[in-house]
Every structure is written in C-alpha cells, then in structure tokens.
Amino acid sequence: MATAVNSTGVLPDTTPALEPILHYVSASLSYVYHSFLSIPGSSIVIRYVRSSYQNDPFRTVLEVILLLFALRTIFQSRTRADRSTKNYVQLSESEIDELVDDWIPEPLVTPLTPAEQAQLNALPIISGAAGPKPKLASTGKTVLNLASYNFAGLANNEHIKEQAVGALRKYGVGSCGPPGFYGTIDVHMQLEQDLANFLGTESAIIYSQAFSTASSVIPAFCKRGDIIVADRGVSFAIQKGIQISRSIVRWYDHNDLDSLEEVLIGVEKEMKKKRAPLTRRFIVTEGIFENDGQMVDLPKLIELKEKFKYRLLLDESISFGSVGRTGRGLTELYNVPATHIDMLLGSMATGLNAAGGFCAGSRVVTEHQRINGTSFVYSASMPALLAVGASEAIGVLRDNPGCLRELVENVRVVRGVLDRLECIEVPSHPASPLIHIYVRSGPSQGSTLEVPTLAARKGGKSKTTSLEPAEPVTFDIETEERLLQDVVDEALAQGVLISRVKRLRGQEASEPRPSIKLAVSAGLTRKEVEKAAGIIRAALLKVLGRRR
C-alpha cells in the first residue's frame, strides 16, 4: 500500500529490493491463513467476518480507528502531560534550565504569627493524669477542669484502669496491623458487639481515631453523583468527609429543620426536572453540634428523612456518652430506636474516655465499611487496651445511670449562672453538656435562651449550594478571640481550666464564630461546679464588662 502511494519515479528502484520481503510476507500470511483454517470452527468465524464486512468499507475503517484509539488509550502513560493541548509551550532544554533556575518557591510554611505564637505559649500542659482536677505543669497548681471531655466522669475510673492493665498484660499495646491482616483482635469484636448492644443496633464498626471516622464513613457511601443534604454548622471532620466524597451537596440552615424540608423539596423537584435516576441520598448532621452545642430535633428529623426517603448519617460524637439516661445519646433522650438512624457515628474518645470512633447501623452498613472505609482498611486497628477501656466504660455507664444524673445537675448549675449574664450569648441547647460562649455583639437582642439561628431566618432564603446563610452573622474574629483568650487566662489564674475553641482559620468551610467551650463533667461535685461557674462568671464580667 505504502509504496503504491509513492511517486512512480521511486517505485522501480525499490521494487527489486522489496520483492523478497513482499514474497515472504505473502507466504507467511498464507501460512497463517491456512493454519487458521485448520482450527476446527474457523470457517464459521471467517464466514461471519466476511458476511458482516461485505460491501461496508466504512465499518471496517471505523473499527480500525476504534481499535487504534483503544490501543492509544491503553499505552498512554498515566503521568501524561497535556502536551497535545494548545496550551503547552514548546521549550528548548536550555530554556527549561533557565526557568528552573529562576523559579523561587514560596516558603513551605509561613512563620508563626504573633497571635499563633501566643496561642502556643498559652497552651496549658497538664502534668500527670488529665481529669476533673488536673495539675498544671507550668504552675504546679491543681485546677478545676471544664475544658476536657469527661462528661460522665469516667476518666481515671479505677475499675476501667484495672481492666486496661489486664488487657495490656495479655495483648501488649499496639495491634501491629490493619484489621484485614491480623489486626482484628477479639476485644475489637467484643467492643463492636458491646456498642451494638448498648445502642440497640444490629452491629457496629470501630475506627482507631474519632476525628477520622466521619471523614471515612461519608466517602465510603457517598460517591460522585449521590446527594448529600447537610447542615451548615457541621463539624470540621464532616466537612472534610463531604469534601472528599465528591457528591452533590445541598446545605440547609444551621439546625433549622424547616429549612431542611425546603431543601429536600427543592432537591426532589430538581431531580424530577432532570429526570435523574434514583441515587443514594443522605442527610448529614450532628446530634449535639460540636461547633456550638445546639441539639437537633431527632424525631422531626427522622420524620423528614422517612418522608423523603433519605438515609440519615447522625454524628453523635458529643452526645454519645453524655446525654440520655445512661448515655446512649440522642436516641435515648428522645426515645427513638437507634435502628431508625442509618449510620450513627460516635466517639469513644469523647464519650467513653478511651480512644477511637465508631459507626453503628445495620450489618449491611458496617460490613460495607470494612472494605470501603479508607481509614478502617488502611490503618492499624486500635490498641487492645483502649478497646477494653471502651468496653468497660460502656459497662460502667449502663450500670450507673447516676453519673449522668449528676452531669445533668452540673449542666443546670452552669447554665443557671451563664444565662443570666448580659455580656455573652450561649448558643448551646440547655441540656447540652458542651456549652459554647460567644461574646455578645452590640446591644442585647432577645433572650439568650432562644436558639439564635431560628431567629436569624426571618429574611430571605439562602442558596442551598453555598455554605453562606442568607443573613450571615457578622463578627470580628480577631477582637473576639482576644477577648475570649483574656477570659480564659483570667479564669485559669483563678484556678479554673477552660478553653477557647481553636479553629483552623482559613481552612474551615465557613469561619465559625469565636467561642469558649465548656465541657461540663460529672467528675466534679456540685459545689466545685458552682465554684467554677462563679469564677468563669467573674472572669467574663471582668473582661467583657469593662468593654462598654
């Protein structure tokens, strides 16, 4: 073929040289043809090919092109550059060398700002055991602790410690392997069973870090094209999970179930209009919000989820182990069977004072994660002694409902003091043991008991595709953070350890308002809590009172 296309002048010269080659090619072709014919059934193939290609050169050409394209795709390098695009600039080697010499990268990280340096320097370091009354390394003083998550007061429980020591003497510390490869220890299975029994779900799966749980569970189920309807105020871990899932996300106003319903109706309409096939749909929210301590209305949420046929992913990282008669979380508080929640996430680090997180749900849900939960599959399983600690903590919670009664009492004491203060706002739910404190901006508006976002939604509707609410609350991050840090320092000076919430400014989906976080604990007596609340009140008044 190729030679025939060439100009006739060249042809006679090349023909004698090519002749033996052509001869050889035709001979081998006929040999291949004949040997192919000798295979039984080959005539059927040939007949089929002939009949299908007859008088249809276009099809032949098309198939050859398709084949070439397929081969090109297969052999293309995976690290291919966009050389082919118009945008690629052809450069000589010396030009590249020059560009390489000229290129000056930015520094790996910017140096600490004075504020960040001050924050690091002010970090309290606890000497010895963390608990309700820890000793600070800097001063050696014992302080009342309202900064650590120790809701049910399980920290330093002697029984749990004894059992953990027993586990250490049987299993060592590390598990030395991911769950798939000999990292599944019997105590892990026991803990999963204990969690499932405790919550009343079919099964549970444990992760070795609470923070990595949500960001692993969400992408395990939500894939590209699936729909996530999420609260605007969800925690950082959930934000990251949503980000990595690459699903379609619609946001509803923070803790506003009317807004949720509107969004759900909107999505339904949208899907109908697009005639999109049925995809997986999820509502993602938190039980008690880590960012401000508000609490979701679970029965209403479940009603909505079932009406619109969404799956519910509820993060109970704060509420598990802290609310309900025995600490089972929101499901116990609202008397809702946990089986209504498709994926119930919780933290054993926060709720059980051990480590790790879990996801409880049906067996289909948990088994799916054993293969698809990235931080489950690709991470070593949790140390056995911590799993035992968590199992024992569940036992303690179940057998001593008293400790949570004390917690409720302590929360009431703290709220009783804070709610009467003019200079602050408390967005948290009255029953939440996690209490956030905002600096009140401007003249007081409404009572502090009212959940602010409900009031905030009087104006226009917010766009569901963006994180920004319709009427964002404006606040001055720098000033408020400084004021709150002053409060923290003042309280510490008076012997109460509290903490300003540390945010990753610039990395959050939307900047949360600066706040102080109080984690009320059952580990403190009523007297101590009263004393601590008094000191916090005095500190708040001292710092914020002199502002105006």
| Cα angle for residues 257, 364, 347 (degrees, 5° grid) | 60
Residue number, 157 or 453, with CB nearest to another protein = 157
Radius of gyration in angstroms for the set of CA atoms belonging to the chain, rounded to a whole number: 33
Q: CA dihedral defined by 152, 155, 156, 160, rounded to 10 degrees?
A: 70
User: Among residues 368, 412, 537, 542, which is the contact residue for another protein, using CB under 8 A?
Assistant: 368
Q: How far apart are CA 101 and CA 103, in angstroms?
A: 6
Shortest reach from residue 323's CB to another protein, in Å:
15
Binding mask 17-36 for another protein (x = CB under 8 A): --------------------
Shortest reach from residue 410's CB to another protein, in Å:
16
Q: How far apart are CA 62 and CA 71, in angstroms?
A: 14
Q: CA dihedral defined by 51, 57, 59, 60, rounded to 10 degrees?
A: 90
Find the binding residues for another protein in span 132-161 (CB under 8 A): 134, 137, 145, 147-150, 155-157, 160-161
- Residue 519 touches another protein, criterion: CB under 8 A: yes
User: Among residues 232, 250, 254, 281, which is the contact residue for another protein, using CB under 8 A?
Assistant: 281
Q: How far apart are CA 41 and CA 275, in angstroms?
A: 48
Using CB under 8 A, which of the segments 29-37, 172-180, 267-275, 531-539 binds another protein? Answer: 172-180
Residue number, 401 or 545, with CB nearest to another protein = 401
- Residue 270 touches another protein, criterion: CB under 8 A: no
Residue number, 263 or 302, with CB nearest to another protein = 302
- Residue 129 touches another protein, criterion: CB under 8 A: yes
| Cα angle for residues 226, 230, 234 (degrees, 5° grid) | 135
Could you give the 3-state DSSP secondary structure of residue 208?
coil
Shortest reach from residue 4's CB to another protein, in Å:
37
Shortest reach from residue 422's CB to another protein, in Å:
27
Q: How far apart are CA 464 and CA 250, in angstroms?
A: 5
Residue number, 311 or 415, with CB nearest to another protein = 311
- Give me the amino acid identity at 386: L
Could you give the 3-state DSSP secondary structure of residue 472?
coil
Residue number, 2 or 109, with CB nearest to another protein = 109
Alpha carbon 503 to its chain centroid, in Å, reads 16
H or E element that contains 144: strand 144-145
Q: Which residues of 328-343 are buried (b: 16+ CB within 10 A; e: fewer)?
A: bbbbbbbeeebebbbb
CB 351 within 8 A of CB 357: no
Binding mask 238-267 for another protein (x = CB under 8 A): --x--xx-----------------------
User: Among residues 167, 195, 520, 544, which is the contact residue for another protein, using CB under 8 A?
Assistant: 167
Half-sphere exposure of 96 (CA within 13 A, CB side): 5
Residue number, 13 or 102, with CB nearest to another protein = 102
Residue number, 49 or 189, with CB nearest to another protein = 189
Pair of tokens at residue 73:
């795709």
Shortest reach from residue 287's CB to another protein, in Å:
17
Q: How far apart are CA 147 and CA 143, in angstroms?
A: 11
- Residue 268 touches another protein, criterion: CB under 8 A: no
Find the binding residues for another protein in span 83-122 (CB under 8 A): 87-89, 91, 95-96, 99-100, 103-106, 108-112, 116-117, 119-120
CB 100 within 8 A of CB 92: no
Find the binding residues for another protein in span 71-90 (CB under 8 A): 78-79, 81-82, 87-89
- Give me the amino acid identity at 463: K
Find the binding residues for another protein in span 473-502 (CB under 8 A): 497, 499, 501-502
Using CB under 8 A, which of the segments 16-24, 62-70, 376-384, 439-447 binds another protein? Answer: 376-384
What does 388-447 look like in DSSP terms, one character per residue? HHHHHHHHHHHH-THHHHHHHHHHHHHHHHHTT-SSEE--S-TT-SEEEEEEPPSS--S-
Residue number, 304 or 448, with CB nearest to another protein = 304
If you search the block for the tokens 């917690």, which residue do you land on? 407
Find the binding residues for another protein in span 186-205 (CB under 8 A): 186-187, 189-190, 193, 197-198, 200, 202
Find the binding residues for another protein in span 286-315 (CB under 8 A): 309, 311
Q: How far apart are CA 505 and CA 487, in angstroms?
A: 20
Find the binding residues for another protein in span 394-433 (CB under 8 A): 395, 398-399
Shortest reach from residue 10's CB to another protein, in Å:
39
Give the residue among 538, 542, 543, 442 at the shortest CA–CA distance from 495. 538
Shortest reach from residue 336's CB to another protein, in Å:
6
Residue number, 351 or 469, with CB nearest to another protein = 351
Find the binding residues for another protein in span 316-355 (CB under 8 A): 326, 328, 332, 335-339, 347, 349-350, 353-355
- Residue 236 touches another protein, criterion: CB under 8 A: yes
